[in-house]
Structure 1
Amino acid sequence: MSDTVALLQAALQALTPEHLEIQDDSAAHAGHAGARSGGGHYDVLIVSSRFAGLNSVARHRLVYATLGDLMKTRVHALAIRALTPEEL
């Protein structure tokens, strides 16, 4: 597990996920401008009751806010699937 994946997992615990998967797709983007500057490409599946009543934009905003500075320093691209337990 990469350091960034561990940091993402730790930060996303604030959303009390019932399920969390993070895939590091950075190797597939080697040479890309964001990858050259140190930012990785990640795919996140997070299942949390915290998403209940929120539309997809609000869910994504909540994830971005939870990740805070990681979005500026460690992450160049983030694909998010944010679901409630009932949607899984």
Structure 2
Amino acid sequence: MSTSASDAQGAGDEGPVARSIRTKLFSALQPSELAIVNDSWQHRHHAAMRVQGGGSGETHFSIQVVSEQFRGKTTMQRHRLIYSMLSEELSQGLHALSLKTKTPEEVQSQTASSRV
């Protein structure tokens, strides 16, 4: 699901972990685009998830975020920033994040080069 800044509340069908992720990222990064996909179902068979009884159903997420806050930061710095913001969730069962982080200019540049 993709969310624009005008739709900061996200979908009502999100679980508590996804809602917490959305709230924290919107608050800190003020993104122009944010997409959060729960990929947990793809990992429910992993040993660590079986030990947790299949987990909460909110253990693995793919996140795409476009924010001015990433300007001047390397990919590693951007990812560390997000992991830091979500440290509470990570300590309470969030297992893995797949992150795509871009500035609006990087998105525009990518879009322009794909048209050529």
Q: Please, what TM-score do these two structures have when normalized by structure 2?
A: 0.70
Query: Is 2:82 aligned against 1:69?
Result: no
Between stretches 11-20 and 66-75, larger displacement belongs to 66-75
Tell me which structure has the larger Cα radius of gyration.
Answer: 2
Q: Please give the secondary structure, in 1, of the residue aligned with 2:96.
A: strand
Summarize the alignment of residues 47-58 of structure 1 with structure 2, pairs less than 5 Å apart.
Answer: 47-58=66-77
CA shift, 1:18, in A, is 0.9
Instruction: Tell me the percent identity.
Output: 35
Is the contact made by 1:4 and 1:74 (CA closer than 8 Å) also made in structure 2?
no
Greater RCO (CA < 8 Å, at least 6 residues apart):
1
Paired residue for 1:45? 64
Match for 1:16 among 18, 23, 30?
Answer: 30
Tell me, yes or no, if structure 1 residue 87 matches structure 2 residue 87. no
Encode CA deviations 1:4-61: one digit per residue, 9 max, x unaligned: 1111101111111111000000011112244343360100001100000111100101
Aligned residues: 88
Q: Provide the rounded CA distance (Å) in 2 between the counterparts of 1:26 and 1:70.
A: 14
Structure 1: which 5+ runs fail to align? none
Task: Give the unaligned 5+ runs of structure 2.
Answer: 1-13, 108-116
Please state if 1:29 is matched with 2:29. Answer: no
Question: Which has a greater percent of strand?
Answer: 1
- Residue 60 of structure 1 aligns with an amino acid whose one-letter code is H
- In structure 2, relative to structure 1, the CA distance for the partners of 1:34 and 1:22 (3 Å cut) is farther
The more displaced of 7-16 and 28-37 is: 28-37
Give the structure-1-normalised TM-score.
0.90
Runs of 4+ with >4 A deviation: none
Provide the C-alpha distance between the structure 2 equivalents of 1:33 and 1:72, rounded to a whole number of angstroms: 18
- Aligned-residue offset at 1:74: 3.4
